[in-house]
Chains A and B, each alone.
Chain A
Amino acid sequence: DADVTQTPRNRITKTGKRIMLECSQTKGHDRMYWYRQDPGLGLRLIYYSFDVKDINKGEISDGYSVSRQAQAKFSLSLESAIPNQTALYFCATSDLRDRGLETQYFGPGTRLLVL
C-alpha cells in the first residue's frame, strides 16, 4: 500500500467551481506539503503544515486554501477554480527525525483540468 495517497487522481471541473483535493499518509510524518507542477516550471510550493495547528503559505498560495484535519490528512481547496489552476498537484510529507535531515515523500499526484 502506498504511504502517501491522493484523491482524486484525475479531475475535470469548470471555472468558478469549488473543488477539494485530498491527501492521506500512513508514514506518521508531522509535516505535509502541497505543490503544483506546470510544464516547464518544475514544482512550486502552495502551502505547508508542520503539525495540525500549523499552516503556512508557500510561494503561490493565492486562490488556494488548506485544511489539516488530522496529522494524517491535509486537503487543498480551490474556492473558485480558474483555468490557470490547471496543473498536476502533489502532496508530500516529511519527518524531521528522518536521518536528521528532512526528505520529502510524494504522493502520486492529482491531475486537474479547469475548463
Chain B
Amino acid sequence: DQQVKQNSPSLSVQEGRISILNCDYTNSMFDYFLWYKKYPAEGPTFLISISSIKDKNEDGRFTVFLNKSAKHLSLHIVPSQPGDSAVYFCAARGERSGGGADGLTFGKGTHLIIQP
C-alpha cells in the first residue's frame, strides 16, 4: 500500500507564477513531513519540512501547508524560477502501519518544469 501519494507525475508552470505541488498520506501516525528536491544525477536535497503540530512553514519562496484532517500537504513556490525545475519528493516520518522502520516514506515524486 502506498502511504504517501503524489498523484501528479509532472507539472508545468510559467516562470514567475506560483507552483503548487500536492501530497496525500494515509498513515495518521506520521508526525513530520519533508519536501526534497532532486536534480538528475544528484541525490535528493532537503528543501523544507513541517511538524504535524503546525499547519504552515515558510522559508523564502517556499511554503509548506499541512491539513491534518484531510491528510494533505502542499508545497508552494512563488515566484517560480527556472532553477526550480526538478523532481520534488514528498516524504513522511513516523511509525509505519505494521510498525518497525523509522526511515522516511517517500512519494513517487512530481517532475516540476518551469517554462520561460
Contacts and interface: CB of A to CB of B under 8 A. Distances in A.
Interaction A to B: yes
Interface of A: 4, 33, 35, 40-45, 48, 50, 56-59, 90, 92, 101-109
A42 B41 CA distance: 15
Contacts of B34: 103-104
Secondary structure at chain A's binding surface: helix, strand, loop or mixed? Answer: strand
Given A42-B89, A42-B109, A101-B32, A106 B103 contact: no
Given A40-B108, A103-B34, A57 B101 contact: yes
Contact of A48 (B44, B46, B103): B103
B108 A4 contact: no
A58 B103 contact: yes
Nearest to A2: B43
Interface residues of B, number: 28
Nearest to B4: A42
A35 B49 CA distance: 20
B100 interface: yes
A90 B42 contact: no
Contact of A45 (B41, B49, B101, B109): B101
B44 A103 contact: no
A106 B89 contact: no
Contact of A107 (B43, B100, B101): B43
Contacts of B46: 103-105
A44 B37 CA distance: 16
